[in-house]
Structure 1
């Protein structure tokens, strides 16, 4: 009896379980039926983004002053429709610090077509940013381009000449074997350089940030800072001082082996440290004693930026102290164990003609040539490293050196060049002997000369009405080999190589 009752209960449980399963199946089928009959009113018409692919050269070179023209190729993923696109060209302009750096908007056009007359030349490149914005999606597409702004006057010989009642600046591009004339007067309408203009300089400081490159011309009681690429006046020379001296009389400039540019103004020394991007001269150097000083317009660039100068007032060599604005005392400036001559007691009858150097860049020897005022004989003084007096002797076998219109040095060749009349001489410092390096045509007298390191030399001559510049390669022996000739200058006063 009990067994039958258990079987009955199990039968009831199975029926209930089957009913539950059937109910669940029915509910699922009903839900599926109503779902399949429901009409989806949502918008599922997805659009493929119309991406833009920009094709432009990775780098562009343009001459300063020319039109910068760039026509990008734009490939769109879906349809070539540019009506919904915005365009912008901008130039990254480096400042003295990262915070000073800006983007200068050049144009808001699909293609770029602008003048580069106001974009300064650089040895390095600018970053040109081409930016396209899709107005519908807000997506931005961009392309960065290296922009090189150069000039025909990037590297070569800067020539200062005179004709009529004015002076002017010219340029020789040795790679192009071409001369460019009257560049200063062409771009600075109404402003002429006076006949008293005596030097033109070009400076390039590769380790400054931002990059520093500039030129100057100096004369009488003034001068100009000018742009390297365009020759446009940037400012008067007298504005290049943090504290303007009472007397403006620029006489000599030189770039030392570091980031310093030295100036001798009215016989006094000033330094410009351009490593931080500043083109300003600091305070006047002071004498280390009560005797004062008046510097000759010459300088020996010593390693680490300091230099050796000659004091005409006290007839002595003096050396800047590099870390202050007071000249180093004689006990600190010179090595007393070397006694070829006394650097602070130079013979008063000896008049300085030139200061230069021979040897390697970082271990060069100062060379100074003096003329004896009593008999016009010449003497050579040498200081190893710029501070060890190791050499003093009379110059031998060097005709009329005291009459030379200028001196130029090839340090690694141990050579110095000088010129008298139409003859260029090659003086070998170690053998103390001169040879005729080159003889120019009769009637042409040398007026200026300058070397580019120890590689080449430029020599200017004048026949009384026209000037000519000859360029030569310097051989390992110091001999010169004719390279080229450039005519139609005025009388050349100064030559400077722009690196």
Structure 2
């Protein structure tokens, strides 16, 4: 038995030795698995016109045998001339949605192909997130400028790189002038044709010389808004258009007297289809045209609401305009339907609030919509009591869609501690915690979690504040733009405002309050956050 075991052991050793020696007869040492990485980059967000450069990192040094490997870069599985080098360099000449850049490395000796990819998004020059449009008056002429954040450190909440482009309209329209007597800006949208389509809103510029509508992608002029009226003329001479609401099926604009004009569109997937009617709108059940009206800016989306709110300054009440419907009476077809709201909700104490159907004795200073769905959806009304000059903030929460708003709750709070009447105010539209007020050169905030406390001074500037606009992104209202009468533009960080140090508040310009002289833009008139995601104002 021992003899048999010894023979078996000897055979095993000889066999294993033969296998080990045999392994060296093959060129296994030349078969190296290549791993490709892009310095931790998994997602790239770039802007049209930028130069994209990618230098891949390999787990082995391929440069020692350069003739052995080939390189092929692809954009969404398509390559171009010159994309066959180890380093990828491309001056971006197209907008890319849901894209990727891939690198294929082929080992010519073995025929094995190794591949890695990185997700890529390329937006237009004027499509960056955390960006604002600035309308200013330069010697009586309108100037449209654009600020955008190119790189943002989310951990430190710091703008690393940004860009301010003065006179984007002139750049986009071969040096043409925009107009004169700037009034306001309004971004508006059309419906998507396909669910995956990315919609960039058009920009309507309201000015004394005549409103114009611009492409939100390029800022090229599309039409003079007078062309959007029946017959290509206004209902009467001397009309100056002011902002309204651009809904899916019904658009409404105002004139300088606060009268309302509407159009019912045949299609909701085309900007400026069909024509505004010449007949000014009345409230449902009334015969006299409405006057001194203000359409309240805020989120509009038909599948969320189906209506937008209007303040009737002549009768000091809150109304709403419906997006459209198949059950309208025949005489309402082609016009926006404007309806009354009740004084308050079923559970409100009418003696503790300012009734929405009768705000007599109060002057409306500012109205804005907030939120994007119940329970954080509604209208904020900043009102001055005429007899006492006290300032009140009334927040009205709504629910309901399809053109049928229901008042859930009204909260009325006195705004205490302001040194004067605020000329400008704003609040983030997404789940706001604060409202900001400008009095002279100073910005104050009211904490919605402590409405019984006086306002708090947030930031002081070196000139009067004439425009403010908080970020209206639906997920993170962390930034606010401020414009001064001397043409200076600032971006402030406002998330958790009460807990921020002075050093954390100013994000732009990067050197704090030392403003670059070459970036002044006349007298700023209006600032609007560039929404980019198919929400409507």
TM range (shorter): 0.5 to 0.7
Shift of 1:365: 3.2
2:491 to 470, 478, 482: 470
The equivalent of 1:133 in structure 2 is: none
The equivalent of 1:14 in structure 2 is: none
1:212 to 175, 194, 199: 199
Per-residue displacement from partner, 1:284-303 (whole Å, max 9, x unpaired)?
65421123312125345564
| Residues 1:361 and 2:359 aligned together | no
For 1:479 and 1:274, how far apart are their aligned partners in 2?
Answer: 50
| Residues 1:246 and 2:259 aligned together | no
Shift of 1:451: 0.8
Query: Quick check: 1:160–1:167 contact (8 Å CA) kept in 2?
Result: yes
Between structures 1 and 2, the one with greater strand share: 1
1:177 to 154, 161, 170: 161
| Residues 1:290 and 2:290 aligned together | no
Query: Quick check: 1:215–1:228 contact (8 Å CA) kept in 2?
Result: yes
The equivalent of 2:28 in structure 1 is: none
- Aligned residue for 2:219, secondary structure, equals coil
Query: Quick check: 2:425–2:435 contact (8 Å CA) kept in 1?
Result: no
**Number of aligned residue pairs:** 385
Query: Quick check: 1:300–1:309 contact (8 Å CA) kept in 2?
Result: no
For 1:207 and 1:219, how far apart are their aligned partners in 2?
Answer: 29
| Residues 1:226 and 2:214 aligned together | yes
TM-score by length of 2: 0.59
| CA pair 214-360 structure 1, distance change in 2 beyond 3 A | closer
Structure 2 unpaired stretches of 5+: 1-42, 53-79, 84-89, 101-118, 152-159, 326-334, 399-404, 510-514, 532-537
- Aligned residue for 2:310, secondary structure, equals strand
For 2:99 and 2:268, how far apart are their aligned partners in 1?
Answer: 19
Query: Quick check: 2:192–2:269 contact (8 Å CA) kept in 1?
Result: no
Query: Quick check: 1:401–1:418 contact (8 Å CA) kept in 2?
Result: no
Per-residue displacement from partner, 1:188-238 (whole Å, max 9, x unpaired)?
235223441122233456845464323321112522222223322222222
Query: Quick check: 1:63–1:150 contact (8 Å CA) kept in 2?
Result: yes
The equivalent of 1:310 in structure 2 is: 311
Structure 1 unpaired stretches of 5+: 1-58, 69-108, 128-145
Per-residue displacement from partner, 1:231-255 (whole Å, max 9, x unpaired)?
2222222234577573453212456
Shift of 1:110: 8.0
Shift of 1:425: 0.8
Query: Quick check: 1:473–1:483 contact (8 Å CA) kept in 2?
Result: no
Query: Quick check: 2:267–2:273 contact (8 Å CA) kept in 1?
Result: no
The equivalent of 1:168 in structure 2 is: 143
TM-score by length of 1: 0.63
What is the aligned-residue RMSD (CA, Å)?
A: 4.6
Structure index of larger Rg: 1
Shift of 1:467: 1.5
Query: Quick check: 1:460–1:470 contact (8 Å CA) kept in 2?
Result: no
| CA pair 317-478 structure 1, distance change in 2 beyond 3 A | farther
Moved more, 161-170 or 277-286: 277-286
Query: Quick check: 2:367–2:379 contact (8 Å CA) kept in 1?
Result: yes
